[in-house]
Amino acid sequence: MGNPVSVFSSSTFFFITWLLFQRFANASLPCTKPIQIYHENPTTGVVYSPNWPDPYPNRVNCVYNLSTTASNVVHLIFSHFDLSPRSQRSHQCLDAYLIIIVVDRQGRQHIGDRICGGDQFERVFETMQSNILLEFVSYTNTVRSGFKIEYQFISEGSIRQPTSLYFDADRTYEAACGGRNEAGTHWGEITSPGFPLSYPKNISCSWLVRVDPSQRIYVRLIHLNISDIKECEFGVLSVANGYRHELNVQRRDDRRLEHSEAKFCGNLKFYEEEGLRSYITTGNRLLIRFKTGARTPLRGDDESKVGFKLIWTAINAIIDETSTGMIQNEPACNEFTCHGGLLCVEHGQGICQPKSQFCIDSSLVCNGVPNCAEGDFSDEFHCHSTEIFVSGGAALFCLLLVIGAVMCCERARRKSAIQKALSSSERSSSNAPKNGRPVWEDRKPRQPQR
The pLDDT, as a whole number, for residue 321 is: 47
Model confidence at 444: pLDDT above 90: no
30-39, 236-245, 377-386: which has the minimum mean pLDDT? Answer: 377-386
4-18, 78-92, 170-184, 294-308: which has the minimum mean pLDDT? Answer: 4-18
- Sorted by where each starts, the structural domains of the chain and their CATH numbers stand as 30-158 (2.60.120.290), 161-313 (2.60.120.290), 316-387 (no CATH)
Averaged confidence pLDDT in the chain: 80
The pLDDT, as a whole number, for residue 187 is: 96
Alpha-carbon 341 to chain mean position: 28
Residue 427: pLDDT band by 50, 70, 90 thresholds?
low
The pLDDT, as a whole number, for residue 299 is: 79
Residue that wins the pLDDT comparison between 403 and 254: 403
Model confidence at 254: pLDDT above 70: no
The pLDDT, as a whole number, for residue 441 is: 42
Contact 198, 306 (CB under 8 A): yes
Residue that wins the pLDDT comparison between 196 and 299: 196
The pLDDT, as a whole number, for residue 168 is: 92
Residue 319: pLDDT band by 50, 70, 90 thresholds?
confident
Q: Which residues contact 148 (CB under 8 A, 6 or more apart)?
A: 46, 47, 48, 49, 52, 78, 79, 80, 81
* Interstrand relation of 60-68 and 248-249 (parallel, antiparallel or unpaired): unpaired
